[in-house]
Amino acid sequence: MSARLDSDGGVPTPPAETRSTVRDRYQWVALANTTAAVFMSALDSSIVLIALPAIFQGIHLSPLTAGSIGYLLWMIMGYRLVQSVFVLTLGRLGDMFGRVRIYNAGFAVFTLASILLSFDPFTGGHGALWLIGWRLVQALGGSMLSANSTAILTDAFPADRRGFALGINQVAAMAGSFVGLAAGGLLVLWDWRAVFWVNVPVGIFGTWWAYRRLRDTGERHPGRIDWWGNLTFALGLSAVLLAITSGIQPYGGHTMGWTSPTVLTELIGGLVLLVIFVFIERRAADPMFQLHLFHNRVFTAGNAAGFLTRLAQGGLQFMLIIWLQGIWLPLHGYDYADTPLWAGIFLLPMTIGFLISGPVSGWLSDRLGARAFATGGMALFAASFVGLMLLPVDFPYWLFALLIAANGIGVGMFSSPNSSSVMSSVPARARGVASGMRSTFQNSGTAVSISVYFSLMVVGLASALPHTLTAGLRQQGVPIATAEQIGALPPVSTLFAAILGLNPIQYLLAPSGVLSTLPAASRQTLTGHTFFPDLITKPFHQGLIVVFATSTALAVLAAIASFHSGARDAVQDNQSRSTTWH
C-alpha cells in the first residue's frame, strides 16, 4: 500500500481508510452492540420466571395465596405488556429524532432499572410492587432497544447481507429467552438479586459503547407527534392486555375471571379504542402507525406470519416448563425444589436448534431468497407440534429432545428470513416505524399466546382435576372437608405451584396441619414424587392436546402467509438500499 507525504512534505502518512472499509467496520460494531442489547433484554424476560420461587422467598411473600397470584402474573406478563404497548411509538420516535439516540437512551434506562431492581428495600406485597414497578421501567428500556435495533441493522447492512445480520440478532433474542431459564436456576443458588445483577455490567459497558460508536446512518424524517394516535393505541392495547392478564385469575366462584365486569369492560373498551385508533391513523397527517405499508404484500404477509408464529410459540415455554416441573421430572426422581433448574437444562435442545438454524438460514436466505426458508421453517414448526401432541406424558427424553430441537430449528429457519424480507420491503425512511410495527405484532402475539395457553389448560384441568384431586386425597386418609376444600381451589394455583418448583400437595396440606395426623405411609405417598404427577397426568394431557393442536393450526397458517408473501417489490427494495452514510 503506497504512502503519501503530509502537507509539509515531511513524514509520510498512510492513506486514508476507504469508505467501504469504514462502512464494513461499522456494520460489525452495530451488529455486536445490538446483539448484546437484544440478548440482555430477552434474557431478562425469562430469567425471572425460573427465579420466582427464590424472589418470593427473598421478599418474604407466600407465592400461592390469593393475592399473590396477581403479583405472579404481573411479574411474568407486565414486561410483555409494556413492550407491546410502547415499541411502536418508540420506533416512530426513532424515525423522527434518530434511531441511535432512542436506542442509546434505552440502554441507559434498562441498566438503571436493573440496578434498582436488585435493591428492593421492602418485603411482602410492597416488595412485590417495587419489583413490578421497576420491571415495567426496565421493559420500557428494553422496548427502546428492540424498537430500533432492527432498523439500525437494516440501515447498516446492504440487502445482500441483511438476512445474516438480522439472523444473528434474532438468534440472540431467542437464545436470551431460553438461556434465561438455565441462568435463572443457577444464579438463585447464589442470591435472588443476582438475576438482576447479571444485566448491570453488560448494561454499563453496552451503554458506554453505544454512545461512543453507534451513529445514525439512515434517513431522519422529523415530523409532528401523533398525540391522539399514540394515546388511543396505548390505552386500547393496554386495556386489552390488562383484561387478558386479569382473565387468567380466579374471579368469585369461577376458575377464571373472563366473566368479571372489570375484565369485560377493559376488553370491550380496549377494542373500541383500537378501532378509533385505526380511524385516526387513516386521517392523520403524520401517523404513528403507517397503514399504507400494508399495501405492500411482503410487509403484510410477513407481519401476519410473525404474529401467528408468536401466537403458536409464545406460551409454549410455559407449557413445557409445567410439563417438566409438574410431571416428568418428579416421576423421574427429581426433587420439586430442583425442578426449575433442571427444566431449563432439559429445554436446551430447543435453544441449540435455534442457535444453529438462525444464522445459517439468514445467510442462505440472502443468496437463495427468504420465502423457501420461512415457509419450510413453519412447516417443520407445525410438524413438531404434531409430534408433541402424540408424545406420551411420561416420554422417553431422547424423543422429547428431538421434537423440541425440531421446534427450535423451525423457528430459526423462519425468524431471520422473515425479519429480513419485512424490513427490506419498506423505504429507508420508514424503517423505524416498520421495526416498531413488527415488534408490536410479535410482542402482542406472545402476550396473547401466554394467556390463551393458560386459559385452555385451566379449562381442561377444571373439568377433571377437582374430582381427581379430592378422590386421591380421600384414598390416603385426608378428611373429606379438607380434601374437598383443596379440590375446589382454582386450577391456576396448581399450575403456578408446578412453575414455582413447589410440592403442590405438601404446600396445600401444610396450613391445615392434616399431614402430621396421617400415618407415615400416607404422608410419604402424598408428598412423594409420583402422587401429584399421577393425579394431574390425564387432565393435563387433555389440555396439552388442545394447546398443541391450536399451535399446529396457527403454524400452518403462518406457513401459508410466508408462502404467499411473494418476491420483494423492486422499487421499495431499491429505496431500502439507498442508505445515506454520515
Provide the residue ranges of all domains of the chain, joining segments of one domain with +: 22-225+288-462+538-577, 226-287, 463-537
Angle value at C-alpha 424, between 420 and 429, nearest 5 degrees: 130
At residue 220, the pLDDT reads 60
At residue 17, the pLDDT reads 52
- In this predicted structure, the answer to whether residue 160 has a pLDDT above a threshold of 60 is yes
Give me the mean pLDDT over the 501-523 stretch.
79
At residue 223, the pLDDT reads 63
Which residues partner with 5 through β-bridges?
12
Q: Which among 44, 45, 77, 71 has a CA at the least distance from the CA of 450?
A: 77
Give me the mean pLDDT over the 80-99 stretch.
80
At residue 498, the pLDDT reads 63
Specify whether the CB–CB gap between 534 and 264 falls below 8 A: no
Specify whether the CB–CB gap between 426 and 293 falls below 8 A: yes
- pLDDT tens column, 214-270: 887 665 656 677 788 878 888 888 888 788 777 777 777 677 778 889 889 989 998
Q: What is the CATH number of domain 22-225+288-462+538-577?
A: 1.20.1250.20
Residue 74 to residues 136, 201, 263, 478, 522, Cα–Cα distance (Å): 9, 26, 15, 34, 37
C-alpha cell at 126: 410492597
- pLDDT tens column, 1-34: 444 444 444 444 445 456 667 667 888 888 889 8
Residue 12's Cα: distance from chain center in Å?
55
Higher pLDDT, 548 or 516: 548
Q: Which among 238, 243, 237 has a CA at the least distance from the CA of 260?
A: 243
At residue 555, the pLDDT reads 93
pTM, full prediction: 0.77
Cell 400416607, residue located: 522
Give me the mean pLDDT over the 150-178 stretch.
76
- How many angstroms separate the CA atoms of 288 and 227, rounded? 9
At residue 499, the pLDDT reads 66
Specify whether the CB–CB gap between 443 and 87 falls below 8 A: yes
Residue 559 to residues 17, 244, 309, 310, 552, Cα–Cα distance (Å): 45, 27, 9, 13, 11
Task: Give the CA dihedral 406, 423, 89, 272, nearest 10 degrees.
Answer: -70
Which of 188-192, 515-519, 559-563 is predicted most confidently?
559-563
- In this predicted structure, the answer to whether residue 579 has a pLDDT above a threshold of 50 is no
Q: How many CB atoms lie within 10 A of CB 579?
A: 18
What average pLDDT does the chain have?
80
At residue 1, the pLDDT reads 43
- How many angstroms separate the CA atoms of 429 and 449, rounded? 32
- In this predicted structure, the answer to whether residue 387 has a pLDDT above a threshold of 90 is yes
Q: DSSP class of residue 12?
A: E
Angle value at C-alpha 123, between 120 and 125, nearest 5 degrees: 105
- In this predicted structure, the answer to whether residue 449 has a pLDDT above a threshold of 80 is yes
- In this predicted structure, the answer to whether residue 139 has a pLDDT above a threshold of 70 is yes
Which residues partner with 254 through β-bridges?
251
Backbone φ and ψ of 13, nearest 5°: -120, 150
At residue 573, the pLDDT reads 44
Residue 164 C-beta-side C-alpha neighbours within 13 Å: 14
- pLDDT tens column, 35-88: 888 888 778 777 877 777 778 878 888 766 666 777 877 887 788 788 878 887
